[in-house]
Amino acid sequence: MTDLHTLSVKALAESLRSRQVSAVEVATRFLARTGGNPNNAFLDIDSEVTLAQARASDAKLADGTAGPLEGVPVAHKDVFVTRDFATTAGSKILNGYRSPFDATVVQRLRSAGMVSLGKLNCDEFAMGSSNENSAYGAVTNPWDTTRVPGGSSGGSAAAVAAGLTPAATGTDTGGSIRQPAAFCGITGIKPTYGRASRYGMIAYASSLDQAGPMARSAEDCALLLSAMCGPDLDRDSTSLDVPAENFSAKLDNSLAGVRVGIPKEFFGDGLASDVRSAIDTALTQLQDLGAKLVPISLPRTELSIPVYYIIAPAEASSNLSRFDGVKFGHRTQDYTDLGDMYKKTRAEGFGEEVKRRIMTGAYVLSHGYYDAYYLQAQKIRRMIADDFQRAFAECDVIAGPVAPTVAWTLGNNANDPLADYLADIFTLPASLAGLPGMSLPVGFGTGHMPVGMQLIGNYLQEAQLLNVAHQYQMNTDFHLQHPAGV
């Protein structure tokens, strides 16, 4: 097969099971495509490890013990620890770090038969909306290499869009699966908080971080999510005691009578006209498929930005205190005492955005400000969650834009971090509420750049989101379109 890199996860799995192609052949093809590291998407590749996994998959395919995704390649965001590849979280402070164990998500996808191609670039400690904060250089968008791919899972989104891997893992704290998926014209889903284990996922903000899959279609994401999710109670205290689910089971359900909520706050003056046009067209297509559009309100949408940028940095300031040069990672070479070592190690190892968020978090947790900022933010977070529950009394899913604009030019917001923060306004509310959300491509805007539509569901309703997305994708071809040269 000459077009292996354009096949879906499902098509590759079927081709491997029918022995039309071997896992080694598939792995070799994708390893060849990663040569030269297009788009700076990968941080670590080891062909010997990948081919060894592929040979093991071929043996299982031959003896009938293959997993459901046996031999299909996947690449992992560099915040998931892995034994066979370095894990840096995009930071100098972890340069060259090797974990003694695999993250649960990595382990479960391998148990399903997937072959790892390596580790993917990301904003440092998943802090960013453009993938320009990585200590190892910015990732570029394969649709236009002068533009950002989105963040923090920008390496994952760019790698899938560029045909370097058929699937990737990502993490979503405030939109970091959905926004890069939208900017790169692929599909990604953040499940309900607690659905996928956080064990072995380097923490940014523990009450918000959630793992999820990124691929070309909802159908592929359903296969990946089925393999990733399930209880991990012994290792992750935030894991939900909810059985693993077959998220493909309801993909073919009709959309007749499905109520799609349209929040008026997502369609205000800040939404670019090209994005709005693509979303409006997609909503009309959902109507044509039998869905009913219902106007709703999420009145605290604008408050999600200050709430998130109080809570997330506060948790980050605590989580990142473990990176001090004592047990692992970078340690400064010149210091006088322990305190001096801590300060110099962290000053040398952390980038500017990480330092900014640590300082913000330390400030809002400090004596005299905890009640005024952090406690108030948690109260409003609860109100945001309640707003969603009132909305879901009137609708089944919520639809709207992922981001106010298409992907912007590299360096455009370098001197204005607040501009990056504001770009998350439509993804933050669902993250704060712990709800599942996804992005799917629905057209193109300025510069022929992809536009993504966001779908948000009630708790544990990932199957319904995937059903709506799949039915839309079966009647359109945006998820099948590739950047030039792919």
Q: Which of 8, 22, 57, 152 is catalytic?
A: 152
**What are the residues whose beta carbons fall under 8 Å from the beta carbon of 88, sequence distance 6 or more?**
43, 78, 94, 95, 96, 97, 119, 135, 136
Q: Which of 8, 10, 77, 248 is catalytic?
A: 77
For residue 62, report the phi and psi dihedrals to the nearest 5 degrees.
-75, -35
User: Following CA atoms 47, 53, 59, 63 in sequence, which dihedral angle do they give, to the nearest 10 degrees?
Assistant: -160
Active site residue 176: yes
| Partners of residue 403 on adjacent β-strands | none
Q: Which of 116, 130, 156, 176 is catalytic?
A: 176
Position 347, amino acid? A
Cα–Cα distance for residue pair 360/232, rounded to 1 Å:
32
180 touches 171 (CB < 8 A): no
- 242-248: long-range contacts at Cβ-Cβ below 8 A with a sequence spacing of 24 or more? 242/194, 242/195, 242/460, 245/462, 245/463, 247/221, 247/222, 247/223, 247/462, 247/463, 247/466, 248/219, 248/222, 248/223, 248/466
Active site residue 152: yes
Q: Which of 8, 103, 68, 437 is nearest to 227 (CA)?
A: 68
| Partners of residue 90 on adjacent β-strands | none
Cα–Cα distance for residue pair 214/212, rounded to 1 Å:
7
Q: Which of 212, 221, 421, 419 is nearest to 312 (CA)?
A: 421
Position 432, amino acid? L
Catalytic (active-site) positions:
77, 152, 176
